Amino acid sequence: MKRYFLKRFLSIIITLIGLSVIVFMVSRVAPGDPAKLAAGPDATEEMVQIIQKEFRLDDPLPVQYISYMRGLLRGDFGRSIRTRHQVQEDIRLFLPATFELVFFSIAFAIAFGILFGILSAVYKDTWIDHGARVFSVTGVAVPMFWLGIMLQLLLAAKFHLLPIGGRLDTMILPPTTITRFFLMDSLITGNWVVFKNALSHIFLPAFVLSFPALASITRINRAEMLEVLHKDFILNERAQGISERLIIAKYALKNALIPTLTMIGLRYGWMLGGTILVETVFDWPGIGNYAVGAAVYSDFQPVMAVTIILGLNFMIANLFVDLGYGVLDPRVRYE
């Protein structure tokens, strides 16, 4: 187990280095002079050179890369050339919003995806199963940004049931900072006004972000449940007179969960990537929105930081999924 963990840890480090080289090179070979853009359309050559010097863009590429990596090791992602803000400070500000959205979405997708998968398998070929199938095909096929805008139009603009975007209403102040998750912080401090408001704001973006994951989890859980429910050991449980509910919840579901867990891990990574679209549509102040805002100005430090953070999260999620196999299936050995 220890050896396996060490191997995985090393592979994460190597992948991260590879990722850092790629994002660094892409940022440097991309067309456009970030210093020129940051200096403004009317800036003189001297003004552009001042910015180049300040951000060491006139250093040779290997020197720039080494300096960037040194910073990364200290957790320093550099400074945004456009805003002059320290990127790690911005990340500290925006990352919790993204995690809050992703955690809420993945919890939603897992809870309802597994439930719909079970119901679909148990009530195979009934209207419940057909309904779940339509739902899951739609979930995979419909683009997130389209679904987001349609739901905004219908539920926010037309029927005024939910807010259009943002994390809180304009006039509502954020709760006292503890975890930086507004729902959590408002719960801890008993600030119900903020809690209710934050819940109303997270609901639509979380639903949209979770939709493809929910659909995939439903499909895969249904298929696995169907397979497991026809296995001999389930027949044996039934013959022993164990209740159907217990068979489904305890024996069938646990065995069906291994492929579902893989899907959850993959979907978590995709969800982090999906936040870029969803956060833009719903003005959710997370790192996706932050990266988009920076990318349109060729402001590469924030984009590089967000790419590395998302990549690292994806790798960690995969590691947890692999470790989770062992918990669900004792036959799994780590070497």
Partner 1 sequence: MIVGVSFLVGASASGYEKRDGKKIFVYGERQAAPNIDPSQYYDWSTRMLQQSLYDALLKYVGNPPKLIPWLAKSRKKSADGKKWTFELVRNAKFHNGDPVTAQAVKWSFERTLTIKKGPAWMLMDFLDKDGIRVIDDHTIEFNLKSPYAAFEMALPWWYIMNPKVVMANAKGDDYGQEWMKSNSAGSGPFRQKRWEHGVLYELEAVEDYWKGWENPKHINGFIYKIIRESSSLRMALEKGEVDGISGLSPEDYDAVIKNPNIYVTNDPGWTTFGLKMNTQKGYTKDINIRKAICYAFDYPSMIKIYNGNATLEDSPFPKGMKGHIPVPNVYRQDMKKAKEYLAKAGYPNGGFELEYVYVSGLEEERLIGLVLLDNLAQLGIKLKMVPLVWPNMVARGSKVETSPDLIAVFTTPIMDDPDVVAIQYHKVSWGKYYGSHFYQNEKTWEMIEKARFTVDWPTRRKLYEEIQTQIMEDVPELFGMLFNRRWAFRKHVKGFVFSPMRFTSEIDIYPLYIED
User: What amino acid occupies position 172?
Assistant: I
Select the span of 124-132, 148-156, 181-189, 229-237 touching partner 1 (CB under 8 A): 148-156
Q: How far is the CB of 252 from partner 1 (least distance, A)?
A: 26
308 near partner 1, judged by CB under 8 A: no
Nearest CB to partner 1, comparing residues 181 and 314: 181
289 near partner 1, judged by CB under 8 A: yes
User: What amino acid occupies position 132?
Assistant: A
Query: Length of the chain in residues, anyone?
Result: 335
Cα–Cα distance, 302 to 289 (Å, whole number): 11
Residue from 96, 113, 139, 163 touching partner 1 (CB under 8 A): that is 163
293 near partner 1, judged by CB under 8 A: yes
Select the span of 62-70, 202-210, 234-242, 315-323 touching partner 1 (CB under 8 A): 202-210
Cα–Cα distance, 308 to 75 (Å, whole number): 12
Select the span of 183-191, 243-251, 278-286, 316-324 touching partner 1 (CB under 8 A): 278-286
Q: What is the largest CA-CA distance in the chain?
A: 86
Select the span of 13-21, 70-78, 158-166, 210-218 touching partner 1 (CB under 8 A): 158-166
In the chain, which ranges are continuous DSSP H helix?
Answer: 2-29, 34-39, 45-54, 61-73, 87-122, 127-141, 144-151, 182-188, 192-229, 232-239, 244-246, 253-282, 287-295, 300-328
Cα–Cα distance, 274 to 268 (Å, whole number): 10
Cα dihedral value 205, 209, 211, 212, nearest 10: 160
* Residue numbers at the binding site for partner 1 (CB under 8 A): 30-34, 36-37, 39-44, 46-47, 50-51, 80, 82-85, 90, 93-94, 149, 152-153, 155-157, 160-167, 169-171, 173-174, 196-197, 199-200, 203-204, 207, 280-283, 285, 289-290, 292-293, 296-298
